[in-house]
Structure 1
């Protein structure tokens, strides 16, 4: 293999294991996500000799074919990036900066809005990781945990690999503390309780991924709730999770007969309305998060204000917002 051919083929090492292909290319070659997608559509990027979409997850040993354009001079790359259609508008990038609640040399803590996915994937091009790569073009922040697309609230990003590794470990080993607010609907008899059903991934008749509870199969999951307010069958709850399974709070609340108000996946659409008949989006908010700062060596706690739509639902139900 010639030197030039070597430049066009890259073997994935441990530092990029389980990273999305487009993020790897953006980090390695300082190119935009939109340019990566454009090159992927043209077949100029290959993964293990196969055509790709760009959002594939890499693993150690994968071979990536790099387009010659990515190896050109910085001036040529800037011109190519400028010609590619931007994924986000200037206003969206500016607005994202207003979500930041805390920032230092190592971490960023944001109040994530509902309606945007955290990590890009199939059918989900616009995401927090891609948006903040535009906010910080010189040093793309790294995800260390997740929130569902329709969940708002505290989300932590790392500014470098060592901090990302430390924080990811804290989240995976349950050394962090998270507290949520949610509105559920149904006959919730106990004002507080623990839900400890296992959670497993299943597929619907339309081959859509969904989580469900099971007595023995799946992964262990524990959810604790406390009622803060009530209006007939509507309940404002404070929720804490000991584990962090996919859709855990949503599927656990459904399992005890009180699905989250506005949850289009685990609640009947006819039940996602306020008493006045107004439809609502999912009422689940990550209010508090606490973790140990990797370099300051002390615990840090952050609280994210509830988003306007959920606050509107709370007021419509007569809940005292001063208690949150």
Structure 2
């Protein structure tokens, strides 16, 4: 079964049929995840359950729950955001910004605009294409073919730090830390408005939107989606925008972007979550012109994965890596600081 997690920068919400299975007339009524486990290679029960929760598995053209029990004659269709494709990665000579490297792992600073791994509409030019050129024999996590070295990812238009595993032992060790939520991940974001309270925690389920599968939506009732926890802290208030620090306890798709929209403070110039318009401030032409100029400086969501902290797989000691804000982020921050100073 192909990896079903939709690329965070996916711009095509079409689904591609990967499997169509008709249940035998003599089949006993077992849970659908157990049934599919016996029939699909290279997958896991957790992966199947998530595919069902995200609406990629239908029975008789109807969405079902993970505890659905199949019936004789059922038609099961698995349709995913990526078309069927082999998992071969083509190495490409793309420069990497390497922050740290040893014989166990690599820390890279990904620029905004670079997709992390090959996926539909982005089979080349990705971080993984670059990694396979510069490094040989990178390990791959089970059920994650075509993504060597990766234990986590960030969105295409998010800049910042990623840890890459160079050995199977390192991959297992790091993956366990991500699973246990013990990795320290700090992001800097420029958001619209001034959060109240200034520091807080957003503990609201997130899941794929019902109307648009590309969007991650908040489900405060907890009846859909998966647990998602973001801790935020205001670093600088600039009247109409604020620089905040976010620390992730979980790692859901578009987590910070969706959580900040939910509390009314979408990321600056985040087109997917409503941050690419005037959310706060006046409608005067001078102010609108200023904001439009800021959008041109940072033509993406203002989000940067600033630091990573974890137990080193080899030394078993805690290590932490930090990065500078990229130039576009620094420039737009300086513009807002200057603007606020002129009106105070």
TM-score relative to the length of structure 2: 0.64
- Residues 87 and 185 of structure 1: is their aligned pair in 2 closer, same or farther, counting only changes over 3 Å? same
- Does residue 247 (structure 1) correspond to residue 239 (structure 2)? The answer is no
Corresponding residue number in structure 1 for 2:174? 167
Moved more, 109-118 or 276-285: 276-285
Distance in 2 (alpha carbons) for counterparts of 1:139 and 1:246 = 24
Query: 1:118 aligns to what SS in structure 2?
Result: coil
Q: Does 1:210 align with 2:183?
A: no
Taking the TM superposition and a 5 Å limit, the aligned residue runs for 1:272-287 are 275-278=290-293, 279=295, 280=298, 281-287=300-306
Q: CA RMSD in A?
A: 2.8
Residues 1:187 and 1:139: Cα distance change in structure 2 (over 3 Å): closer
* Residues 261 and 271, structure 1, Cα contact 8 Å, conserved in 2: no
Contact in 2 for aligned 1:167/1:294 (Cα 8 Å) = yes
The answer for the alignment partner of 2:102 in structure 1 is: 104
| 2:154 corresponds to | 147
What SS is found at the alignment partner of 2:129? helix
Runs of 4+ in 1 over 4 A off after TM superposition: 11-14, 137-141
Corresponding residue number in structure 2 for 1:43: none
1:53 paired residue number: 85
Q: Which of 278, 289, 311 matches 2:308?
A: 289
Give the conservation status (yes or no) of the 8 Å contact 2:138–2:165.
Answer: no
Cα distance per residue 1:113-137 (max 9 Å; x no partner): 1111112111122321121111224
Count of residues in Structure 1 that have an aligned counterpart in Structure 2:
240
Q: Tell me the distance in 1 between the aligned counterparts of 2:291 and 2:202.
A: 31
Residue 315 of structure 1 corresponds to: 334
Higher fraction of helix = 1
Unpaired segments of 5 or more residues in structure 1?
1-10, 19-50, 57-80, 320-324
**What are the within-5 Å matches in structure 2 for residues 113-192 of structure 1?**
113-125=111-123, 126-137=125-136, 139=138, 142-192=149-199
User: 1:53 offset after TM fit, Å?
Assistant: 2.7
SS in 2 for 1:146: coil
